[in-house]
Amino acid sequence: MPNRIHTLLTRFLKWRYKNISNKTFTQILSVAVGFLAGLASVTLKNITYFIEAFLEKGILISNGLYFILPILGLTLVYLYVKFVHKEKLDHAISSILFALSKKKGMIPPKQIYTQLIAAPLTVGFGGSVGLLGPAVAAGSAISSNLGRLFHINAKTRSLLIACASAGAISSIFQSPIAAIIFAVEVFSMDLTLLSVLPLLLASISGVLTSYFFLGNEVLFNFTITENFEVKDTLFYIVLGVGTGVASIYFTRMYFGIIRLFKPLKSPKYRLLFGGLAIGTMLYFIPPLYGEGFGFINSLLDGNHVAALGITPFDDFTDNIWVVIALLVGITIFKAVAMTTTLASGGAGGTFIPTMVMGSALGNAVAKIINNSGLGFAVSESNFTLIGMAGLISGVLHAPLTAIFLIAEITGGYALFVPLMITATISYLIMKNAMDHTIYTRELAERDALLTHNKDQSVLTLMQLDDVIEDNFKIVHPGMSLGEMLHGAVAKSTRNIFPVVDEKKALVGIVLLDDIREFMFDTTLYESTKVETLMHNAPEHIFYGKDNMKKVMEKFQESGAWNLPVVKNGEYVGFVSKSKLLTAYRKELINVTE
């Protein structure tokens, strides 16, 4: 059977090459990718909602013993990872960005089903993370392997991964425009004539998949009843500042808790410590349970009592300032609960937690304004929505995604001006404070981050291994001039000779120009040693330490045409400026075509 499938696939590929252009085939695949990513998103949601519905009917939640559920869910994820997945779970979006920059868009097939299993177990049992990241990761894995199956090149495979992200987001939020913009902002895609049509097709396919399986069911059933008023501009500026500061807090808290868990080497200790911490937070702040869409919808409906749920502070919620304090508490602890879930071994995304945190902050700001006693009155539901946009814009460095997502969720552009005000201010504050997001900081430190800077992206995509040349004749310090001439120079087509000691360490180089004047003087053949002829290389390239940008800088500063490469103290070859520039131009054409 496998041989027959392979034969049929080969016949199809031959027929495709003859009858369908690459452009048309990419568009066809983008529709398929959008559908499959949408299907993965729907599957994730349904599995998670099934688990949540099953647990809500059980004795555990009815008795308020929240601390049991996260430990149970994380334990199930731990067992799955240990015995089935057998690899550490990576952050969904970061792993995709790394695959795009360093693996030519290759994502292992097991990422498809791993996301469909680990994320629902985490979220369904109370993990305070979202499903969007796993949905994008599952869709991206599908598109990557579909591209591999049909022998798609790396450039097109990257485009299909962006299409998968658009399809997944479009399916979850039913917001096709924001889905495309997310692919452009987060995955650094170029919105060109060649890429925009596949992204559109995938986004449309994803949203139609959602409609087909879920009907008109939407995450936020909300219609704007109070339009923007110019007199509220100052308050939206204040909200923008607040969400900008909250974005900085969210990001720093994320990295701080990740560092806090690092000393716990055993996954069991991380699971136990994290599970108890999450359970404790859920007991005092029930809205931290799971994704939190119910919390957002209750705030949009103006029902903060339903949003807060049953808490130990129920006797005091008649006081609006207690309610405001609880909302601020959710704003603070959502970042803590989310990161603790991930650090404990759970699987999930960070996009939706930012929405929950933003909605709580926006609603709290509106309540403070309305209850300040100064006679001001603003729309709490509008501030709830725009608070979400502010956090998305700041935390993800994605202001356009935030603006269009909220605009599409509300079914119109009545709040477009305040969305722009708050999202822009939040983004500027966050960007000035932190250059990278929780998705990109580690990648930037590893020189594996693609950006809209073409020069930087080209250097990131280039691999040092592709430009190292090892056809240089090696000589040793104790060699005589005669031995060098007969054993190396006469047999080499190069004009540079690395001098290597018995430990394979590079101790110097000899250029043909260094010996040209006396290379035919036979009286020096025995008396002159290589160690007297050699000199230091103008620079060294350190494998695994120097990125391609650093390599380019070393060539520029040294003025050399060839530089030696050293790996773990041993000589491995040379990089020539001509080959480096040729590889750079080739990659630049590939990126910009």
Domain containing residue 267: CATH number: 1.10.3080.10
Q: What's the total number of domains in the chain?
A: 3
pLDDT digits (tens, 9 = 90+) for 279-314: 888 888 888 888 888 899 889 888 888 888 777 777
Quote the pLDDT of residue 2: 65
pLDDT tens for 135-192 read 999 999 999 999 899 988 888 898 999 999 999 999 998 889 999 999 888 887 776 7
Residue 150 makes CB contacts below 8 A (sequence gap 6+) with 13, 16, 25, 29
Q: What is the mean pLDDT of residues 378-399?
A: 94
Distance in angstroms (rounded) separating the CA atoms of residues 454 and 119: 35
pLDDT tens digits, one per residue of 198-246:
999 999 999 999 888 877 666 676 777 778 888 899 999 999 999 999 9
**Residue owning tokens 């939640």:** 61
Q: Which of 164, 152, 235, 156 is nearest to 194 (CA)?
A: 156
Most confident of 217-226, 258-267, 271-280, 398-407: 398-407
Give me the mean pLDDT over the 30-48 stretch.
Answer: 93
More confident of the two residues 58 and 255? 255
The domain in which residue 99 lies consists of 2-214
Asked whether residue 200 falls in the same domain as residue 319, the answer is no
In a domain, 520, yes or no: yes
Whether 220 is covered by a domain: the verdict is no
**435 residue type, one letter:** D
One domain for residues 397 and 252: yes
Same domain (yes/no): 139, 91: yes
Specify whether 244 is located in the same domain as 307. yes
Q: Highest-confidence range of 157-161, 524-528, 583-587, by mean pLDDT?
A: 157-161
Q: Is 325 inside any structural domain?
A: yes
Asked, for residue 219, whether it belongs to a domain, the answer is no
Q: What is the pLDDT of residue 71?
A: 87
Does residue 86 sit within a domain? Answer: yes
State the chain's mean pLDDT as an integer: 87
CATH number at residue 539: 3.10.580.10
How many CB atoms are closer than 10 A to CB 541?
23
The fraction of the chain above a pLDDT of 70, given in percent, is: 95
Same domain, 163 and 64: yes
Domain end position, chosen among 411, 426, 447: 447
Q: Is residue 130 part of a domain?
A: yes
439/471 same-domain check: no
Phi and psi at 541, nearest 5°, equal: -105, 125
Whole-prediction pTM value? 0.83
Cβ burial of 425 (10 Å; 0-12, 13-18, 19+) is buried
Q: Which pLDDT score, from 0 to 100, does residue 59 have?
A: 46
| Residue that is last in its domain, among 172, 187, 214 | 214
148, 257: one domain:
no
* C-beta of residue 323 within 8 angstroms of C-beta of residue 354: no
- The verdict on 483 and 343 lying in the same domain is no
Give the DSSP per-residue string, 472-534.
PPPB-TT-BHHHHHHHTGGG-SSSEEEEE-TTS-EEEEEEHHHHTTTTT-GGGTTT-BHHHH-
- List CB contacts of 131: < 8 A, sequence separation 6 or more: 41, 44, 45, 48, 119, 120, 123, 172, 291, 348, 349, 352
pLDDT higher than threshold 90 for residue 566: yes
Distance CA 392, CA 244 (A): 10
C-alpha distances out from residue 270 to 134, 263, 403, Å: 21, 9, 37
pLDDT band at residue 64 under the 50/70/90 scheme: low
Q: What is the pLDDT of residue 282?
A: 85
Residue 234 is predicted with a pLDDT of: 95
Indicate whether 572 belongs to any domain.
yes
**Distance in angstroms (rounded) separating the CA atoms of residues 65 and 451:** 46
User: Residues 170, 44: one domain?
Assistant: yes
Do 534 and 422 fall into the same domain?
Answer: no
The pLDDT, as a whole number, for residue 412 is: 66
Least confident of 49-63, 132-146, 170-184, 565-579: 49-63
- Pick from 106-120, 178-192, 417-431: least confident: 178-192
One domain, residues 245 and 207: no
Which of 447, 469, 494 corresponds to the end of one domain? 447
Whether residue 502 is predicted with pLDDT greater than 90 in this model: the reply is no
How sure is the predictor about 63, in pLDDT bands with cuts at 50, 70 and 90? very low
**Could you report the per-residue pLDDT of 433-480, keeping only the tens digit for each?**
998 888 888 877 777 666 767 777 777 788 888 899 988 999 999 898
Residue 102 binned pLDDT confidence (cut-offs 50, 70, 90): confident
End-to-end alpha-carbon separation of the chain, Å? 40
Mean per-residue pLDDT for 500-505? 89
Which conformational region is residue 290 in: left (phi greater than 0), alpha (psi within -120 to 50 degrees), or beta? left
Q: Rounded to an integer, what distance in angstroms lies between the CA atom of residue 175 and that of residue 167? A: 10
Residue 563: which pLDDT band, with cuts at 50, 70 and 90? very high
State yes or no: pLDDT of 257 exceeds 70.
Answer: yes
The confidence score (pLDDT) of residue 199 equals 93
| Residue 464 sits in the same domain as residue 439 | no
Residue 222 lies in a domain: no
What pLDDT is stored for residue 452 in this prediction? 65
CA-wise closest residue to 496 among 563, 569, 428, 559: 563
For 323, residues 6+ apart whose C-beta sits below 8 A from its C-beta are: 304, 308, 317, 367
- pLDDT recorded at residue 592: 67
Span 53-68, mean pLDDT? 64
Phi-psi sector, 129: left (phi>0), alpha (psi -120 to 50), beta:
beta
Strand ranges across the sheet with 541-542 = 468-469, 570-576, 562-567, 541-542
